């Protein structure tokens, strides 16, 4: 489920620009994917931003919307910014795109997001697993996940050319490492295990299993420990690197 916040006021763009990981849209017609981080660079929530000409609509996971609105209100101070909840629905789909819909900026296979209109019956878990696209509350864990380990650069969710934002210093430092030692990836899985099951190899924890579909799954792995013979509960897990 999704929830849409309306952010208005003459300083709405500058307000968000100083907070979020991506360039804030200034003209109608497209969506931007971004996140809000802790000062320590850890994920708090991800969302889509749409400029309407009168306000910015922020499309967030319904379970995170109230906490996000509270956090934005804390940062607002005396800026000319308004924050409102809305009852705008969000329909998701991959079929013919309705006139009211906008393309999902993360990956072409994720289709479109229809604000105020219906979606279709696409199996989005299958698409997410195939392209290793994390979801809030599953693979994206507040106060725990680092967005580069979660693939935000590949998913167009972070801009390294924009100015400072909350958590920018840690994110930039991770970007300039020679190689990430752990992160989300797609694995093969034979069997099934609950989301959050520990993945082990030779009796040692090497990661966590998340969304599963069609013999594949999204997993968070320590790449130096991962291999072809791992288990997650009763399931066999294989990582080809």
Residue 102 exposure: Cα atoms within 13 Å on the Cβ side: 18
Closest CA to 138 of 29, 206, 220: 220
Q: For residue range 149-180, what is the model confidence (pLDDT) as tens digits?
A: 999 999 999 999 998 999 999 999 999 876 88
Q: What is the mean pLDDT of residues 73-96?
A: 96
d(CA 186, CA 198): 15
pLDDT of 3 strictly over 80: yes
**Dist CA 198 CA 231 (whole Å):** 8
Average pLDDT over residues 51-80: 96
pLDDT band at 227 (very low <50, low <70, confident <90, very high): confident
**What is the Cα–Cα distance from 213 to 198, expressed in whole angstroms?**
18
Q: Give, in degrees to the nearest 5, the angle at Cα 194 between 193 and 197.
A: 80
pLDDT tens track for 30-54: 999 999 999 999 999 999 999 999 9
What is the pLDDT confidence band of residue 228, given thresholds at 50, 70 and 90?
A: confident
pTM above 0.85, yes or no: yes
């Amino acid at each position: 489920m999704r929830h849409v916040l309306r952010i208005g006021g003459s300083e709405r763009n500058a307000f968000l620009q100083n907070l979020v990981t991506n360039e804030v849209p200034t003209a109608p017609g497209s969506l931007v994917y971004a996140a809000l981080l802790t000062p320590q660079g850890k994920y708090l929530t991800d969302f889509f931003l749409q400029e309407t000409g009168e306000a910015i609509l922020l499309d967030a996971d319904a379970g995170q919307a109230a906490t996000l609105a509270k956090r934005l209100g804390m940062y607002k101070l005396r800026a000319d910014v308004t924050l409102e909840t809305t009852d705008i629905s969000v329909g998701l789909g991959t079929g013919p795109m309705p006139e009211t819909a906008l393309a999902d900026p993360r990956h072409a296979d994720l289709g479109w997001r229809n604000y105020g209109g219906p979606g279709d019956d696409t199996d989005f878990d299958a698409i997410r697993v195939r392209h290793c696209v994390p979801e809030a509350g599953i693979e994206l864990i507040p106060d725990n996940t680092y967005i580069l380990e979660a693939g935000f650069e590949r998913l167009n969710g972070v801009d390294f050319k924009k100015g400072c934002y909350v958590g920018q210093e840690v994110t930039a430092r991770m970007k300039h490492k020679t190689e990430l030692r752990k992160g989300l990836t797609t694995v093969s899985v034979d069997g099934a295990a609950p989301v959050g099951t520990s993945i082990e190899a030779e009796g040692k924890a090497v990661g966590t299993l998340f969304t599963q579909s069609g013999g594949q799954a999204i997993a968070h792995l320590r790449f130096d420990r991962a291999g072809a013979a791992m288990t997650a509960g009763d399931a066999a897990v294989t990582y080809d690197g």
